[in-house]
Amino acid sequence: MAGTPAPFAPFEWMIAWRYLRAKRAEGGVSVMTWISLIGITLAVFALIATLSVRSGFRAEFVDTILGANAHVTVYSMGEVDEQTGRLDRTITEYDAMADRVRDVPGVTRVAPLVKGQVMANAGQQNAGVQVFGIRAGDLKTIPRIADPETGRGDIDAFEQGIAIGSGVARELGVSVGDRIRLISPNGVKTAFGTSPRVNAYDVVYIFSAGRYDIDRVRVYLPFEEAQSFFNREGRADELEVMLSDPDRVADMTVPLLRAAGDRAQIWTWKDASGGFLRALEVEDNVMFVILSILVLIAAMNVTSGLIMLVKNKGRDIGILRTMGLTEGAVLRVFFICGAFTGIIGTVCGVILGCLFAIYIDPIFSFINMLMGGQVWDPSIRGIYHLPAQLQFGDVMSAVALSLGLSFVVTIFPARRAARMNPVEALRYE
């Protein structure tokens, strides 16, 4: 029909806006609108805040793994020592193997390592530590270790001393320039057996990798000194390999094995931390479902408010229908009322969620101050602070979920209003 107005005509918006401005006598409708608005705002805020913390935690965890640990570890299957009968898994031609592995496309660094667990001592304090024997040039290429912003001391003096984690320094009560002793039970072989080896070293560098479990136990020793200390003369325990794209580590497995040799084996960062990452992924999915239910509950408040609005406006609906307003026009009027509440609540929730993610450090510091400190225990969570990473995809997921649910739950009371019989609505007026 030529005279039929287009959908969502200006008069439909005018009527919807008029209904949203409740009079004093209709205060219940106004209260329900505000409850719906606040509910959706808080639900979207909680969803975005949780998604940003989830993304930040995973990014921080992966970054500390890749920034302080090998992306791939190459080691030998080993051979049985005829004299001792023990399996010897050390690598003798480690420099030649490192050169072959270094030639593999995608490999950025290869470093031979000597590893061992010993006890560190300073005065009356003792701590179990894991020693990494590494060359000075290789140590300087580890991002999280050779970081001038978090490290203390002179990493260039590494050959004259030892580098220790900030957690080790705290446990032993030492700082740069102090002296610590390393005690290994498998030390000097004598005619009376093996006696412990005890060596003293000057602390020349203290690093903070950002992971409590790394800073608490890790110590770096010059490569040749570690070979002597652990009786590994002319040998290395493994090769530490860094890749240009750690996420493609699965594609690098076969080329690395071919380059390393027939008796080589590898262990990737995903093998070491894959279980934890998969647990994070499952937790992320569960949290998204739970918070989606929270958004749904908040959106149902829109339905409640709209049902009350339809009931209070029954007489108005009857008059509008007798004046020629179609069912579709009435449906759109009440759909606008509900959708408008959902849109405003979603926008407010997005703003609050984004501000929370951006200013999470001062917010968390304030909460920590109110709680008297020690709200975040790095010994339990592994990292030193609560991270948050705001991602466009997470924000869009929250917006799509909130608006989608708000629009869907609005349709049912709007259809009820559209199908209301004008005769019944005006019978007792």
Each residue of 282-314: pLDDT tens digit? 888 888 888 888 888 888 888 877 777 777 766
Q: How confident is the model at residue 196 (pLDDT cuts 50, 70, 90)?
A: confident
pLDDT at 354: 93
- Find the mean pLDDT for residues 135-150: 89
Greatest mean pLDDT range, 145-149, 274-278, 302-306: 145-149
Report the percent of the chain where pLDDT is more than 90: 31
| pLDDT score recorded for residue 406 | 86
Report CA-CA distances (Å) from 363 to 230, 359, 360: 48, 6, 5
Residue 123 pLDDT > 70: yes
Q: Is the pLDDT of residue 149 over 80?
A: yes
Alpha carbon 161 to chain centroid, angstroms = 36
Please give the pLDDT value at position 334: 79
| Closest listed residue to residue 250, CA positions, set 264, 261, 262, 266 | 266
Q: Categorize the per-residue pLDDT at 225 as very low, low, confident or very high, splitting at 50, 70 and 90.
A: very high
- Check residue 389 and give its pLDDT: 85
- 324 vs 147, higher pLDDT: 147
Query: What is the C-alpha separation between 69 and 137, in angstroms, rounded?
Result: 16
pLDDT at residue 1, rounded to an integer: 46
Tell the residue number behind the tokens 């647990």, with chain if given: 279
Q: Which of 257-282 are b and which e, b meaning 16 or more Cβ less than 10 Å from the residue's Cβ?
A: eebbbeebebebbbeebeeeeeebee
Mean pLDDT of 381-409: 83
CA pair distance 69, 95, nearest whole angstrom? 20
Quick one: pLDDT at residue 25?
45
Classified as helix, coil or strand, 143 is coil
Mean pLDDT of the chain: 82
> Which range is least confidently modeled, 43-47, 139-143, 172-176, 298-302?
298-302
- How large is the C-alpha radius of gyration of the chain? 33
Cα 8–13–17 angle (5° rounding)? 155
Residue 428 has pLDDT above 60, yes or no: no
Predicted confidence (pLDDT) per residue in 317-361, tens digit: 667 766 767 777 777 877 888 888 888 899 999 999 999 988 888
Indicate the range of 89-98, 124-133, 147-156, 362-371 predicted with least confidence.
362-371
Average pLDDT over residues 173-179: 93
Query: Alpha-carbon distance 181 to 231, whole Å?
Result: 17
Query: Does 246 have pLDDT greater than 50?
Result: yes
Q: How confident is the model at residue 28 (pLDDT cuts 50, 70, 90)?
A: very low
pLDDT for residue 35: 82
**Backbone dihedral region of 173: left (phi > 0), alpha (psi from -120 to 50 degrees) or beta?**
left
Least confident of 111-115, 172-176, 212-216: 212-216
Tell me if residue 205 falls in helix, strand or coil: strand
Residue 121 backbone dihedrals phi, psi, to 5 degrees:
-135, 140
Cα end-to-end span (Å), the chain: 32
